[in-house]
Amino acid sequence: MGRLFHPVTIRNSRIDGNIFLAPLAGYTDKAFRTMCIDTGASLTYSEMVSAEGIIRENRKTLELLTPAEGEHFFGVQIFTGHTDSAARSVEHVLRFNPSLIDLNCGCPVPKVVRSGAGAALLKDPEKLGRIVRSISGNTDVPVTVKIRTGWDEDSLNYIETAQAARENGAAMICLHGRTRKQGYSGSAGLEHIKQLKEYMDIPVFGSGDLFTPEAVRFMLENTGCDGVMIARGAIGNPFIFQQCRSLLEGSVPPADADDTQKIEAALKHLDLSIHYAGEARAVKEMRKHLCAYTKGIEGGAALRNRLVHTSNTAEIKSILSSFMTR
């Protein structure tokens, strides 16, 4: 077994490490990505972005494509069910100099699936391949693809979908070890990630149930995958990247964040959100993050109740600061 934490080369992009922040709709904005970069994420992905919105140059859509200050390894994830839209979106995406362009083929949300995008593409590997080709044929930036094991337990076709992506120019595959039908229930199947890694000749990343550094190590050791994408495990816990790197390098990982460290991180995250989004939007965007940061701390329920009913950032800071000094 080689080193578990290591650089990874995805076609012509060499990333310094193999612990990525997965794209998360509604979460992986510039502020949150910065929090994760500061604690050791090797690469961060944008939120899932509509190819059609990109083509229309919708202001809010293009804002999602903008890297944060100092974000050197940055991937953009797009979703679409149409080859033409995928192809036309590329020139717009390239203006933001991404390290990677990812095609979402795993989102289980009904609205996305009904449009023929996300997990709907698992039902049609040939179409998935055509969309990958429409992206990869228009850029030298490596194209990655995020898939699930299949639509349901009766159609575990991840080898077929991954091969269709590979044959049409994909430079890396990330497999979330659940079907579309599972959503986020049950457990992610590591055996599928292991099988895909044995089959493919391009980097394979694993995703699913990565809530602790020990779970990350277990996935890497037991599947042989080239790296991981941490998703829900980073929400309210950006410290996980630093913990993972230490553990994978053979050091004793830092202890889980205590209540004070969580509040300090929430305050830092709030300042970043204000910086990037302005005060009004920061208040709205931070509510879900504040709930996550305060989960599990003593008195957290009462604290969350106060925070979600607060309408300005000064009051949020006051509540959090007073909580630390109680």
Q: Which residues are catalytic?
A: 107
In the beta sheet, which residues pair with residue 10? 13
DSSP class of residue 22?
P
CA 275 to chain centre: 22
Tokens 């959090």 locate to 320
The H-or-E segment that residue 81 falls in is none
Taking CA atoms, 145 is separated from 31, 162, 235, 315, in Å, by 24, 8, 22, 42
| Closest to 256 measured CA to CA, from 240, 233, 245, 234 | 240
Residue type, 266: A
How many Å apart are CA 93 and CA 63, to the nearest integer? Answer: 11
DSSP class of residue 121?
G
Beta-carbon contacts of residue 76 (< 8 Å; ≥ 6 apart): 45, 46, 49, 65, 93, 96, 98, 100, 101, 102
CA dihedral 223, 228, 234, 237 (to 10 degrees): 70
